[in-house]
Amino acid sequence: MGYVALRVNMFALAALAVAGSGLAAADAPHVTDIKAVHHDGQTFVTWTDVAQGQAGAKYRYSLYRSDAPITQENLAKAELCCPGILNNSCKQFGRANTEKDRIDPRVPTCIIEDGGKPLPDGSGLAVRTAHRDGKSFYAVMVNDDAFKPVGQIVPGQSATTEAVEEKVAPIQPIRIVQYTQSRPSGKPNLPLEVSLHGSQRDGGTVAEIGDFYLYFGTAEMGWRDGLPGVFAVSENQAGLKLSPRDAIENPRGDGILQSWWSGYYCRPVGAAHEEPRFYEFTTRRLDWMTHWVIDKYRVDPERIYCQGQSMGGGGVAFWAFRRPALFAAVVAKIGRVRARPSIAAAGLDLPGEIILSKFNKPIFMADGKTDFFKVKDSVAWVGEHHEDLPFYSLACGRKDTMIPWRDNTEMARALAAGHHGFAMAWNSGTHSTSTALEAAKRLERYYGAAKFSLSRSYPAFSNSSIDDRLGNGDPADGDPVGGINLGFLWSDVVDEDGQWSVKLENDLCKERMTVDVTPRNCQKFKIKAGQIVQWTNSAGGSGEVAADPWGLVTVEKVVLVPGEKTTLSILRAR
């Protein structure tokens, strides 16, 4: 899918500013009181904007870096780090998404180091991540609201005259406040839930609970270095909860952009290619954020879960589900399993490339070769991955026009064909919160995330004789309300080198039933492809079965009877 674009070359315009264009006249505007402070692998550059209030709305700013002091004469040789910085950029991310908010003195400003004071209102802020150890000088150029340079560089006012010492190090978030409500206790080895919210087009910040953090992403986490983000860490009876924000800064300054917990179609600052591509910036933010919380709060690494609703449910499929070394189980409520054009076509208004949402050619990933829609097809992805994946709970509605019912049915069939651990519940509802919760409750009763751990084996079910009818993919075909793999309970899992066994029952079983059972997430019971095992079922039956090409053993038609526990035992034979 192609694009329609209006390009504004920031680098060419910067060169014009220092090439005798007249823009560097003595009365050209310039920022004042520039300062640079470095800690935790990042340099925080602050200044006072050239104008305040409504008068400041017509200005934008660009941050430059050099090994030597920067002047108007050598600006063209400096590195353009961060173009298109908004006026009054000191405001806390999520609280100042529009021009009206940015000039409102009641909106809080950033703290740029733990325990520090909020920046003065009317300040500018840009953050650059260190790429090597050494000394750097910085300067800020004033641009108009079309990103054209209109200012000048004045050493000591808009350019630093003393070098800041920089050191490559892992970046760290800054705790802005610690709320009393749901404050983390500090107890180690708690489970962690990553909660991905649904679409919130008006932006906003995270819930004011627990520990509230501000961070500035690296160049790998956004269309330019230092893009801000926020998250909160709270604690409840179930354990710790990480609540991130999906939104990113809109370079126009008139709202936020959503990335669908994945990324966006753009040409990042400094990119060698001219055409926009899809970059998975948000998944990198989520990876960094989750691992930082795990280390900081000493989370139990075996009990990490992810849940999301609507847009967040898509994030579950496109991000968390694809990280089996991290997540033990995931819960997706009315979430997409395949990307649609509008997700990729959201685009990004960069200072260097303003992209409109009209597409008629393939969308490629960052490498310029891989098709976006193939990467974001979770049904196909499941078919290609036979290793242990997080247990997948999927709740949806047949009449949801935003989440195609056919995609949900194909996802369920792919999971069953791969003998993965999963359960699905649906009703005839539309895309609404009540619908999601109604179907999800049927799953939570039997497959609460706490049942799963990366260090604990469990039985995966398929072809249950009491499954409801999915139908052929048409919302009108099949049972209006139903589920797949509902009602199963298990206990006393034995996972040894020569034996695997489990006690099974089904809470919904009304008469004799059957189900296929596959040991998953085995820690010790490892079987090679083609190896023969023997099985017995206390409710009747025994036999032999060979492991499939991926070393999975599936015992078909295991018998269960109402009100009784059935023991299934599998022994290594030869």
Mean pLDDT of the chain: 90
Q: Predicted confidence band at 11 (pLDDT cuts at 50, 70, 90)?
A: very low
202, 97 Cβ separation under 8 angstroms = yes
Average pLDDT value for residue range 6-33: 52
Residue range 124-137, pLDDT digits in tens: 999 999 999 999 99
Q: How far apart are CA 558 and CA 320, in angstroms?
A: 31
Average pLDDT value for residue range 413-438: 91
In a domain, 405, yes or no: no
In a domain, 367, yes or no: no
Q: What is the DSSP letter of 53?
A: G
Q: What is the DSSP letter of 368?
A: S
In a domain, 99, yes or no: yes
In a domain, 10, yes or no: yes
Residue range 189-230, pLDDT digits in tens: 999 999 999 988 777 788 889 999 999 999 999 999 999 999
Residue range 451-460, pLDDT digits in tens: 999 999 999 9
CATH of the domain at 21: 2.60.40.10
Q: Predicted confidence band at 147 (pLDDT cuts at 50, 70, 90)?
A: confident
With H, G, I as helix, E, B as strand and everything else as coil, classify residue 422: strand
- pTM (two decimals): 0.92
In a domain, 30, yes or no: yes
**pLDDT surpassing 50 at residue 358:** no
Q: Return the higher-pLDDT residue of 77 and 203.
A: 77
The bridge status of strand 329-333 relative to strand 391-397 is: parallel
Average pLDDT value for residue range 140-148: 91
Q: Which two tokens stand for residue 337?
A: 């399993």
Residue range 367-395, pLDDT digits in tens: 999 999 999 999 999 999 999 999 999 99
The reported pLDDT for the residue numbered 361 is 67
Average pLDDT value for residue range 493-507: 97
The reported pLDDT for the residue numbered 26 is 59
Instruction: Domain of residue 107: give its range.
Output: 4-166
In a domain, 136, yes or no: yes
| Residues in contact with 515: Cβ distance below 8 Å, sequence separation at least 6, in sequence order | 461, 462, 463, 464, 465, 488, 506, 557, 558, 560
Residue range 152-164, pLDDT digits in tens: 999 999 999 999 9
| Residues in contact with 414: Cβ distance below 8 Å, sequence separation at least 6, in sequence order | 379, 382, 383
The reported pLDDT for the residue numbered 345 is 56
- Percent of the chain surpassing pLDDT 90: 76
The reported pLDDT for the residue numbered 434 is 74
Q: For the chain, what is the domain count?
A: 1
Residue range 83-127, pLDDT digits in tens: 989 999 999 999 988 899 999 999 999 999 999 999 999 999 999
Average pLDDT value for residue range 328-345: 84
The reported pLDDT for the residue numbered 14 is 37
Q: Which amino acid would we find at residue 226?
A: G
Q: Which two tokens stand for residue 254?
A: 């008139």
Average pLDDT value for residue range 522-539: 95
Q: How far apart are CA 209 and CA 232, in angstroms?
A: 7
Average pLDDT value for residue range 501-506: 97
Average pLDDT value for residue range 440-447: 91
Considering 360-374, 433-447, 514-528, the range whose residues carry the highest mean pLDDT is 514-528
In a domain, 157, yes or no: yes
In a domain, 155, yes or no: yes
Q: How far apart are CA 257 and CA 252, in angstroms?
A: 10
**pLDDT surpassing 50 at residue 10:** no
- Percent of the chain surpassing pLDDT 70: 92
Q: What is the DSSP letter of 574?
A: -
